[in-house]
């Protein structure tokens, strides 16, 4: 593989990711001063300076190693911060909101270009990250991917499944903030999943929702790492299509990577759960309520 890798696979489960760096890290293509190491930027949130130079807070560039290329599609990277931070929760709340704004900006742009944009974040080698510096990715596809199409179809059978689950989350509730709610679904697709969605049914997000998502996701991911014992995680989004059915309820799934998907999961699509959703939610609530110095 030609893709660069600076994440080792044999790190311990906790404290695996390095602490934030106070200065750009040599050899990191996502740090300020290394803009020449990436393709020209598509979008940036800047304090100053010209495109493709320092002075940015969040920066979006084409993926140098895309899974799909123009004109068939697009594959972009959103560098979540100019700080060399490996864990999303090591961003400040404001920086996390800026990062999620970048996801929204680029998802909107790709969708306007008639692409089905899939937004996701891989953190840690166990979750598929090849570079430490925190970043999200967007893949713009010319067709609906099978799993996204199946997920959309699940909302077209009558009652919205998310609204039904949120009607009485009970002890599976994790947190509410900024018009969003985080909870552990009654029937999770994978162990220790936390779902985040707007409390009021909505098929699409907007900039305020995106910024609120960044802040809440930061806290949820931090708590999950403490409770589950790994800082490797995947995050992905399910969004309604522009002009698509209003029945879709947009949401995010945050999944700490514990265990390994093996023959039963990959071959039969059967996933065993090792954490009870209510117990996991209780642990997350306790971790989020802990004093800042203990988090």
Assigned domain for 164 exists:
yes
| Domain total in the chain | 1
Assigned domain for 128 exists:
yes
Report whether pLDDT(70) > 90: yes
Assigned domain for 106 exists:
yes
Q: Which domain holds residue 47?
A: 35-294
Grouping H, G, I as helix, E, B as strand and the rest as coil, residue 73 is: coil
Assigned domain for 23 exists:
no
Q: Who has greater pLDDT, 172 or 295?
A: 172
Q: Please compute Rg for the chain using Cα positions.
A: 18
Residue-wise pLDDT for 10-40, tens only, equals 333 444 688 898 899 999 999 999 999 999 9
Contact 80, 102 (CB under 8 A): yes
Assigned domain for 18 exists:
no
pLDDT band at 269 (very low <50, low <70, confident <90, very high): confident
pLDDT for residue 11: 35
pLDDT band at 6 (very low <50, low <70, confident <90, very high): low
Report whether pLDDT(92) > 50: yes
pLDDT for residue 292: 63
Instruction: Give the β-pairing of 43-46 and 56-62.
Output: antiparallel
Determine the Cα–Cα distance for residues 231 and 225; give it in Å rounded to an integer. Answer: 5
Closest CA to 116 of 97, 136, 138, 134: 138
Report whether pLDDT(56) > 70: yes
Assigned domain for 98 exists:
yes
Assigned domain for 250 exists:
yes
Residue-wise pLDDT for 169-228, tens only, equals 999 999 999 999 999 999 898 889 999 999 999 999 999 999 999 999 999 999 999 999
pLDDT for residue 4: 58
pLDDT for residue 12: 36
Closest CA to 235 of 192, 271, 279, 178: 192
pLDDT for residue 13: 41
The tokens describing 5, both together, are: 């890798």
pLDDT band at 260 (very low <50, low <70, confident <90, very high): confident
Assigned domain for 149 exists:
yes
CATH number at residue 105: 3.30.428.10
Closest CA to 41 of 7, 84, 71, 82: 82
The mean pLDDT of the chain is 91
Q: Which residue in the block uniquely carries the two structure tokens 């988090």?
A: 295
């Amino acid at each position: 593989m030609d893709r660069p890798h600076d994440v080792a696979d044999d790190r311990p489960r906790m404290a695996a990711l390095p602490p934030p760096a106070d200065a750009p890290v040599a050899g990191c293509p996502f740090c300020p001063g290394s803009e020449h190491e990436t393709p020209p930027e598509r979008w940036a949130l800047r304090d100053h300076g010209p495109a493709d130079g320092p002075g940015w807070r969040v920066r979006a560039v084409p993926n140098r190693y895309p899974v799909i290329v123009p004109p068939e599609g697009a594959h972009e990277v959103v560098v979540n911060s100019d700080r060399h931070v490996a864990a999303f929760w090591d961003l400040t709340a404001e920086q996390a909101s800026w990062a999620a704004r970048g996801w929204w900006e680029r998802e909107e742009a790709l969708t306007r270009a008639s692409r089905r944009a899939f937004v996701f974040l891989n953190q840690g080698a166990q979750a598929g990250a090849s570079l430490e510096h925190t970043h999200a990715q967007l893949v713009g596809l010319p067709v609906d991917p099978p799993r996204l199409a199946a997920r959309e179809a699940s909302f077209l059978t009558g009652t919205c499944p998310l609204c039904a689950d949120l009607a009485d989350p009970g002890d599976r509730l994790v947190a509410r903030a900024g018009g969003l709610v985080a909870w552990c679904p009654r029937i999770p697709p994978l162990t220790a999943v936390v779902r985040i969605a707007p409390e009021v049914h909505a098929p699409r997000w907007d900039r305020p929702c995106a910024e609120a998502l960044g802040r809440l996701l930061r806290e949820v991911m931090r708590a999950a790492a403490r409770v589950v014992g790994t800082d490797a995680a995947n995050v992905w989004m399910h969004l309604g299509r522009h002009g698509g059915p209003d029945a879709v309820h947009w949401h995010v799934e945050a999944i700490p990577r514990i265990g390994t998907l093996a023959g039963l999961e990959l071959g039969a699509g059967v996933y065993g759960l090792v954490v009870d959703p209510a117990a996991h939610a209780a642990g997350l609530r306790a971790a989020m309520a802990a004093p800042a110095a203990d988090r």
